[in-house]
A and B are shown apart, each in its own frame.
Chain A
Amino acid sequence: MTEPVLRIQNLSISYTVGAGTFQAVSDVTLDIYPGRVVGIVGETGCGKSTLAQAIPRLMPEPPGSIGAGRIMFRGTDLVKVPKSKMPMVRGTGIGMIFQEPLNSLNPAYRVFDQIVESIQIRHFRDLGLVKSFQGGDKPFDYSKRPTTSVGSALTKGIVPDGAAEQAVKERIRTKSDYRKEVLDYLRLVRINDPETIIDLYPHELSGGMRQRIMIAMALSEKPSLLIADEPTSALDVTIQAQVLTLMKDLIDEVDASILFISHDLGVIAETADEIGVMYAGRIIEYGPVDEVFRSPRHPYTKMLLAAAPRIYKADGSLRSIPGNVPNLSRPPPGCRFHPRCPIAKPICKVDPPPLAPVPPSDPALAPDAHKSACYFPEEVPGLP
């Protein structure tokens, strides 16, 4: 089996607000393999955005802090990387698309200036002109860096063998080269009139257009992992569909693993290969999308699916899950879903159930492909 691009192990994140501590993410373990799209779904406040922002360590620290666990990216534990060195990691293999396209672009700079920055950072790092993340045990050991810098190539160029000069020429880029590259990325995100759009300011663009620019910006870093944190949630339904179609096309075109965060089950169903359902900071069910949607093995997933509005449902009434999302400063003991769960038993109130494999409904799947954090997964199909 290939190595996962990102391996999150037992990650716990808490926020300290005043005297209280909110356990936003508890004991989350997640592997993302190359080329896979992992969807994380859950209600507002279940910790999915915190999880997404914790990977490139973008959440504000303090008040946020990582209590335990590891975030292994390219052989390096990002939790142990000092905060001052995180800029070298960001943009190197991790791209991110944010929830609010309206505010995620800097109002003072043109589209070109914003995208070219990402390209330049990648370019400079590739050339070895700036210190950057290497991965592995010693992620910031610059001595092992290959000497491909423009400077060293120039000094070699004193010896007239021609090859070094050629290498330099290929590496030095002018503004028009950069412009061409930015235009390519704008075309990649299906912008019809890139020559005009490239010189506009964010306030002159529509929400959908801005989100396309954000996607182009993330892709221009050539990420091996793309984190999409609710990329369509803030958009109109029609624009949402367009951006989603674009995302689906790009998933096939771009050579990246994707962590797709959304509260919308439909969006996850359309995009993801695997789905993790989060509830109150924990992943309570995990498995291939079709498998989880067809035969959910956690009462919360089952009820969440039942609550999703469907236009063709026989009775017109909307279903909801009784009760409220628990307060994460005082989460209920045991299984966090037990106060709202119709099949809760005494043991559910004592010990939190582990995320354990359940027999998949599709015999073609691996026996550990589908996991559920419920003591009684066999009772779930019987729920209404």
Chain B
Amino acid sequence: MGRSPSDLIIFVLKRLVQLIPVLFGVIVLTFFFTHLDAGNICNAWYPHAGAATIKNCEATANQPILTQFYQYFINLLQGNWGASVTGVLVYPYIAAAVPATLELVLAALFIMIFIGIPLGVIAAQYSGRLGDHLVRIFYLSGWATPTYLGAVIAAVFVGPYLGLPNHGEYSTLAPPFHQYTHMSVLDALIAGNLPYTIDAISHLILPAAVLAFINMGIATRMTRASMLEVLPLDYVRSARMKGLTEFWVMYKHALRNALITTTTVLGVTAGGLLAGTVVVEEVFDWPGIGQYAYTAIGGGGSTPNYAGAVAVVIIFAVAVVVANLIADILYGVLDPRVDWR
């Protein structure tokens, strides 16, 4: 059996190598979907640009499609992701927006894991009784809430009621320290600025909670279902017989096995979380990729930003693929029956 740490490195490397063709496929699809579009692509890319730019663009657009793809691919690798109509470069903007979204998604995942999973355990423990019903009402109401509605209710009613900020990353526009990571809480921590750290966390709570509440259902529901599968098994009884308290029986013995399924499903929800960020970030004015996506497709009356939209599609696709990769690796780590070699 290959379960030594060196085997794990091979296991992860193998998965990473498998990632390369997937990512290439994503780029191919995005490119051809956006370039095989009928009509004058240059007008779409540069709707208000001058004649010189359009002419430049048309010179490119008249080249064979494979040449264009080669050029596009090289540019992509070099970080030359184009610019919006107003001349704002896409790459630097996205490089700052991705960490902000990552922070939001990680915070939402944190809530889903540390609240959603224990709720699933409680529901399974009290299956068919009041606790189970309350948990199910809770996660189903999250599941049934449209993102825009949940976000607006949280921003307009819940936030002011709890005294939580509902706008941006910090209370001031520009924090008095350098943003190394573009993750608001982490940057404040690196700067050692405690008031700003607290400020950043309080700004993070509402959007993360909304994102988590809407996607919580899948974590709770999967945990509940797999716990119900595990609880009647003999090894749970063995654990009880040892004299372990119900808490350890549930969380050490039963949940450890139930998590194997839940982890896989959580990886798949990454897509849902990202889709949620588009609305949540716009409502809470969170400077992340979701908000960027919203403005790039012309949301809120902004000028459409074709290069930006394409970049967002690629980023989202990469994010979903990477999330699945992480879930895949975690599955291998959690289930001792998976051979790493």
| Beta-carbon contact of A98 and B257 below 8 Å | no
| Beta-carbon contact of A106 and B239 below 8 Å | yes
Give complex CA distance A92, B256 in Å.
Answer: 25
Q: Which of A104, A118, A121 contacts B237 (CB 8 A)?
A: A104
Give complex CA distance A79, B281 in Å.
Answer: 58
Chain B CB within 10 Å — which of A88, A98, A214 has the most? A98
The answer, yes or no, to whether A87 is at the interface (CB within 8 Å) is: yes
| Beta-carbon contact of A58 and B242 below 8 Å | no
The answer, yes or no, to whether B1 is at the interface (CB within 8 Å) is: yes
Give complex CA distance A361, B315 in Å.
Answer: 88
Given the contacts A106-B257, A107-B336, A108-B256, A98 and B243 also touching, CB distance less than 8 Å: no
> Which B222-246 residues have C-beta < 8 A from chain A?
233-235, 237-246
| Beta-carbon contact of B257 and A56 below 8 Å | no
Q: Which of A58, A88, A204 contacts B241 (CB 8 A)?
A: A58
Point out the residues of chain B lying under 8 angstroms from A100, CB to CB. Answer: 234
> Which A98-117 residues have C-beta < 8 A from chain B?
98, 100, 103-110, 117
The answer, yes or no, to whether B253 is at the interface (CB within 8 Å) is: yes
The answer, yes or no, to whether A39 is at the interface (CB within 8 Å) is: no
| Beta-carbon contact of A214 and B238 below 8 Å | yes
Chain B CB within 10 Å — which of A58, A89, A95, A117 has the most? A117
Point out the residues of chain B lying under 8 angstroms from A87, CB to CB. Answer: 240, 243-246
Given the contacts A201-B336, A203-B337, A204-B1, A106 and B256 also touching, CB distance less than 8 Å: yes
Point out the residues of chain B lying under 8 angstroms from A108, CB to CB. Answer: 256-257, 260, 334-336
Q: Which of B238, B244, B260 contacts A121 (CB 8 A)?
A: B244
Given the contacts A98-B234, A104-B235, A105-B235, A56 and B336 also touching, CB distance less than 8 Å: no
Given the contacts A106-B256, A201-B336, A90 and B241 also touching, CB distance less than 8 Å: yes
Point out the residues of chain B lying under 8 angstroms from A51, CB to CB. Answer: none
Give complex CA distance A285, B239 in Å.
Answer: 34
Give complex CA distance A110, B3 in Å.
Answer: 12
Point out the residues of chain B lying under 8 angstroms from A106, CB to CB. Answer: 235, 238-239, 253, 256-257
Q: Please report the total number of B residues contacting A with Cβ < 8 Å.
A: 22
Q: Which of A109, A110, A203, A221 contacts B242 (CB 8 A)?
A: A221
Give complex CA distance A96, B246 in Å.
Answer: 18
* Chain B residue at minimal CB-CB distance from A96: B241
> Which B174-206 residues have C-beta < 8 A from chain A?
none
| Beta-carbon contact of B240 and A90 below 8 Å | yes
Give complex CA distance A72, B235 in Å.
Answer: 27
Q: Which of A89, A96, A104, A107 contacts B257 (CB 8 A)?
A: A107
Give complex CA distance A37, B96 in Å.
Answer: 73
Distance between A350 CB and nearest chain B CB, rounded to angstroms? 40
Give complex CA distance A145, B337 in Å.
Answer: 44
Distance between B238 CB and nearest chain A CB, rounded to angstroms? 5
Give complex CA distance A121, B243 in Å.
Answer: 7
Give complex CA distance A90, B240 in Å.
Answer: 8
Band of interface residues on A: 20 to 34
Distance between B184 CB and nearest chain A CB, rounded to angstroms? 37
Give complex CA distance A121, B241 in Å.
Answer: 11
Given the contacts A203-B336, A203-B337, A103 and B235 also touching, CB distance less than 8 Å: yes
Distance between B62 CB and nearest chain A CB, rounded to angstroms? 61
* Chain A residue at minimal CB-CB distance from B238: A104
| Beta-carbon contact of A58 and B240 below 8 Å | yes
Point out the residues of chain B lying under 8 angstroms from A218, CB to CB. Answer: 241
Point out the residues of chain B lying under 8 angstroms from A96, CB to CB. Answer: 241
Point out the residues of chain A lying under 8 angstroms from B237, CB to CB. Answer: 58, 98, 104
Given the contacts A108-B257, A201-B336, A217 and B242 also touching, CB distance less than 8 Å: yes
Point out the residues of chain B lying under 8 angstroms from A58, CB to CB. Answer: 237, 240-241
Distance between A246 CB and nearest chain B CB, rounded to angstroms? 19
* Chain B residue at minimal CB-CB distance from A122: B243
| Beta-carbon contact of B242 and A118 below 8 Å | yes
Given the contacts A108-B256, A203-B337, A204-B1, A56 and B238 also touching, CB distance less than 8 Å: no
Distance between B340 CB and nearest chain A CB, rounded to angstroms? 13
The answer, yes or no, to whether A360 is at the interface (CB within 8 Å) is: no
Distance between B247 CB and nearest chain A CB, rounded to angstroms? 9
The answer, yes or no, to whether A42 is at the interface (CB within 8 Å) is: no
Give complex CA distance A108, B338 in Å.
Answer: 11
Point out the residues of chain A lying under 8 angstroms from B335, CB to CB. Answer: 108
Given the contacts A103-B233, A107-B257, A203-B336, A98 and B238 also touching, CB distance less than 8 Å: yes
Point out the residues of chain A lying under 8 angstroms from B336, CB to CB. Answer: 107-108, 110, 201, 203
> Which A23-72 residues have C-beta < 8 A from chain B?
56, 58
Point out the residues of chain A lying under 8 angstroms from B234, CB to CB. Answer: 98, 100, 103-104
Binding site for A on B (CB under 8 A): 1, 233-235, 237-246, 253, 256-257, 260, 334-337
Binding site for B on A (CB under 8 A): 56, 58, 84, 87-92, 95-96, 98, 100, 103-110, 117-118, 121, 125, 201, 203-204, 214, 217-218, 221
CB-based closest 4 A-B pairs: A91-B243, A103-B234, A90-B243, A106-B235
A-B contacts, 23 of them at CB < 8 A, read A56-B241, A58-B237, A84-B246, A87-B244, A90-B242, A91-B244, A95-B241, A98-B237, A104-B237, A105-B235, A105-B238, A106-B239, A106-B257, A107-B337, A108-B257, A108-B335, A108-B336, A117-B242, A117-B244, A121-B243, A201-B336, A203-B336, A204-B1
Q: A103-B233, A104-B237, A121-B244 are in contact. List 16 more A-B contacts (CB 8 A).
A: A87-B240, A90-B242, A91-B241, A92-B243, A95-B241, A98-B234, A98-B238, A98-B241, A100-B234, A103-B235, A104-B235, A105-B235, A107-B337, A108-B256, A201-B337, A221-B243
